Structure formats: C-alpha cells, structure tokens
Amino acid sequence: MTPSVDNNLKQSYQHLFEHLEQSRQRVQPSFVLQEIGTVKSVSAGIAIVHGLPNAGFEELLRFPGDIYGIAFNIDEHEIGVIMLGDYSQLNAGDEVKRTRRVVDIPVGADLIGRVIDPLGRALDGKGNLTCKQRMAIERPAPEIMTRSPVTEPLQTGLKVLDALIPIGKGQRELIMGDRQTGKTSIAIDAILNQKDKNVLCVYCAIGQKSASVAKILATLKHHNAFEYTVVMVTEGNDPPGLDYIAPYAATSIGEYFMEQGKDVLIVYDDLTQHARSYRELSLLLRRPPGREAFPGDIFYLHSRLLERSTHLNEAHGGGSMTALPIIETEEQNMSAYIPTNLISITDGQIYLSPSLFSLGILPAVDVGKSVSRVGGKAQRAAYRKVSGALKLAYAQFEELETFARFGARLDASSLQLIEHGQRIRSCLKQAESSPQSVAAQIVILLALTNGLFDSIDLAAMDSAQSAAIEGLTSLPQSIIGKLEQAETIEEHDKHIILDMLSQTLKPFTESTLRTGDKAQFMVEEANG
C-alpha cells in the first residue's frame, strides 16, 4: 500500500471518529422512571394486577393492545381493575402501565349529531371525533351557591306531563314502571319536542339491545333530532365496565354545554342496568354485598350522578341540565331497593302503569302515583289557569270509577263526574312521537276545563281535538303569540278562544245529540 493511500485512510477514519464523537456529545439520554405492573388474573370484566404501588384510585391503567381499565380496588399488594375493553386477549403475566390520569372523554360542539361510546369512540361510521378538549367523567356537583331555583318549564309536548306533572329546567324527574310500559317513548318524545327550542339533548343507552337502540336512532333521524342531540351507547355484549362509566361520561358532555350557558336535557336509559352492572363488578371484586346483593355504596353511585344536574345562576352562565333517569320496576314494586333510592334522590317521578298500558291508555301515566316536587313553580301562568283543578277532578273520577265497578248506584252528580273524567282521560291520550305545541295543549285543556267536550261522544273525541287544534288558525295572531308564550290569558282573549271552540265543536255536539235521541227512541219503542 502506498503512503498516500495510507494517509487518506487515516484521515477518513479520523473524520469518522470525530463525527461519532460529536454525535455522542449531542445525544442527551433522558431516563423516565416508569412503573410497570403485571396481570395476576383476568375474569369476567375485571383483572387483578400487582406491581403498581403508587397507582391511585380510579386511575386509568393501560394493558397490551390499547386496552384500558380503571384502578378500583386499591389493596396492599394488588389492585382490582375494571376493564373497559375486550379483555379476552389478556393473559396472566401481561404488562400493565400507569397513565397518571383518570378516565376522560372528548367534549365539544362536534359531538352534536354523533353516536359514541363512553370512551369517546365514534360508532356511527362518520370518522373519528375532532374535539380538542377533554373532561373527566367523574366531576364534583356544582356547589349550592352557584345554583338557581327551578322556575322555567321544560316542555315535553305531552299533555299529561306539561299540565299535571310539569318538569322544570334543572329538575331530576324519574321515569319508572315495569318493562314494556312506554318509559323510553316518553323520554324520546321529550327529546323530539326540543326542536327549535334551543335545548341540547344527550341520550345515554346503558346495556340496551342493539335492535332497541337501532329503533331509537331511526326515530331521532326521522324527526331530524340529531341536529341537537348526542347519543351515547353501550350494548348488552359490552363489558360491564363500559355500562358503569356511561352515565358519568354522558353527564360530562352535558356539563360542557351547561357551563357555556345552554340548556341541556339528558336521558339515562336505564339506571336499573347501570346498578346491575355495578353490582356485578363489586361482587367480582369481592366487595361485601348488602341488600339484594348490591354493595353498600349503591346509593352514592346514583346520587353523585344526579346531583350534577341543576340550574346554574347567572354569575355562572345561567345554563341548566335537566335529567330524566329511567328505572325499571318488577311487578309494580315501587318499594324495591333501587327504585326507593332513586325516588329519594330525584325531584319527583312519573309512574307508568301496566294496567293502563294494557287498556290502550297511552302514555300510561298513573297520575295518582306520579308527582313533580317542583310543581307549579315550573309551570307558566296559562297552564296553571287552565289545569288548576284538572288533577283533582281526574283523581275523583278514578276513585268513582273504581267504586262504580262494584255495581253501586250513583247519583246524577257522580255520573257527571265520571262522564267528565272519561273526557279528561281521552284528552290526555297521545300517540307516540307526536308532541303537541304549547298553544295546541292550552286550547285542548281550556275546552276540557270549561266542559266543551262533555257533550261529545267518546268515540269522536280524537276528531274533536284535531278540529279544535285546527281552529287555532282562525284566531288573531296576537292571541296565538300569547298562547305560544303561555302567558296569562286575559278574560277578553279567553272569551274569543271559547267562542272559536264552541263553533268548531258544534258539529260534534249535534252529532252526539242525534245519536242520543235515536238511542232514546229505541228504548221507548222497546218499552212499548
């Protein structure tokens, strides 16, 4: 090898070593201390982990395959974890890492019109969510001094509720009844009625069947309710951990809009499944069972959820979140553990009777067992004026109707009460997915309380109500505006409305009289 080539090689090696030395000096290795635990065992919906001594309560833990869980039981040597994903692929010995954060969910205006799961993953095939802000699913309820009284009504579009069991913005009203009595239908009708009323809706389906969820989504889509609704879904085959966090995640979404000064309606469908999922997880984690095998903190499970629904004062934006939790009773047993817990937490209940449902009286609201603890304070003046004595008259009718079934002879006044009560029941009937406007409801109630329907045959009541609503178009626009705002009805306006109703219902009254005359003639002929 010639000296020149040898020198060139030396220079190349020297440059290479200098470059390596400079690169080594530029690299500043950073060491991050990370706790890594190990899966000890996996069972239905839970995992036992050891080796994470500093993990906190409800901290989010990460398992292989981007599966997450919540640290729920913090014991001395191990942690009981609620799984939030498909845990079937996990095995004993898999690594577990801390995330140093709690479970959170994306929030923002982009959620409106979307169907998501409790972890914020899209289920509607419209692509991933683009929300930049996230909120923890477990948040403290607003303080007492930040709240305002519930005084503004939330119209459901259902006459039986808006007239007799009014719901206010910021109220928690329980919907309860046996299975297949129309609980979900009432909640969905309330959502449909919020169109063009500047109320955002959140519907949370907890452990529902896929067919039931698909039907609800189709109804919302058909009535264009997705323009102001967020839907959160967990299905029956999802892990119980997702059922457990679903209502809290949905409430955080509602709180985001409430804190912006907006009115929100949130529906939990249903909290029976939520309580059962929590009981399943608690028993698997070896927590001591109590009444009906539910854990001791089952009351706190729902109280900390429903206390987050409120009406904020103006200093905090003036927003509100109205909750309609749904609960399923068994054999009309309102005194079971979970129903009594929720009755004591909420501001009233709407009880649906299976006997009324079987008779075709829909919605099957049992007015006697239903109550709103906000009451008339969340009802506009026009409603109070036209429905003040309605609940009492209906209660008297139900008592007399029960009494008359024993074959008792009734006097004329009692028979008149029964006739009037039958018209009240007929007026309170309403088809599914057909909420009525405030003006239409007030006109019907005004005709009812003034006895204009009493002389109409029961078979013609539906047609008579439709005619009365159509008669609204003949009223002056100023009166219609007052009715829509549900302001106090002046005596002059009341006489104009009653004159319109008398003229509109006159053909139905005459038809009933002709039918009655014919029946009387047949009776006289039979008697010779």
**CA 234, 237, 238, 243 torsion-angle sign:** positive
Is 385 one of the annotated binding-site residues? no
For residues 205 and 262, the answer to whether their CB atoms sit within 8 Å is: no
DSSP helix/strand/coil, 380: coil
Is 260 one of the annotated binding-site residues? no
What is the spatial distance between Cα 424 and Cα 452, in angstroms, rounded to a whole number? 11
Q: Tell me the CA distances in angstroms from 189 to 184, 186, 192, 474, one per residue in order.
A: 9, 5, 5, 28
Is 130 one of the annotated binding-site residues? no
Radius of gyration of the chain (CA): 31
Is the peptide bond between 270 and the residue preceding it cis, with omega within 30 degrees of 0? yes
Amino acid letter for position 389 = A
Beta bridge partners of 136: 104
For residues 106 and 94, the answer to whether their CB atoms sit within 8 Å is: no
What is the spatial distance between Cα 210 and Cα 228, in angstroms, rounded to a whole number? 22
What is the spatial distance between Cα 12 and Cα 10, in angstroms, rounded to a whole number? 5
What is the spatial distance between Cα 444 and Cα 439, in angstroms, rounded to a whole number? 9
Instruction: Name residue, tokens 């039907």.
Output: 215
Active site residues: 373
DSSP helix/strand/coil, 361: coil
Q: In degrees, to the nearest 5, what angle opens at C-alpha 456 toward C-alphas 453 and 462?
A: 80
Q: In degrees, to the nearest 5, what angle opens at C-alpha 447 toward C-alphas 441 and 449?
A: 100
Burial class (CB in 10 A: 0-12, 13-18, 19+), 524: exposed
For residues 426 and 458, the answer to whether their CB atoms sit within 8 Å is: yes
Structure-token pair, residue 265: 């309606």
Question: DSSP class of residue 56?
Answer: P
Q: How far apart are the first and last CA of the chain?
A: 146
Instruction: Name residue, tokens 């809706």.
Output: 201
Instruction: Name residue, tokens 């006159």.
Output: 506
Question: DSSP class of residue 165?
Answer: S
Is 180 one of the annotated binding-site residues? yes
Is 184 one of the annotated binding-site residues? yes
Binding residues: 177-184
**Binding site as annotated, residues for ATP:** 177-184
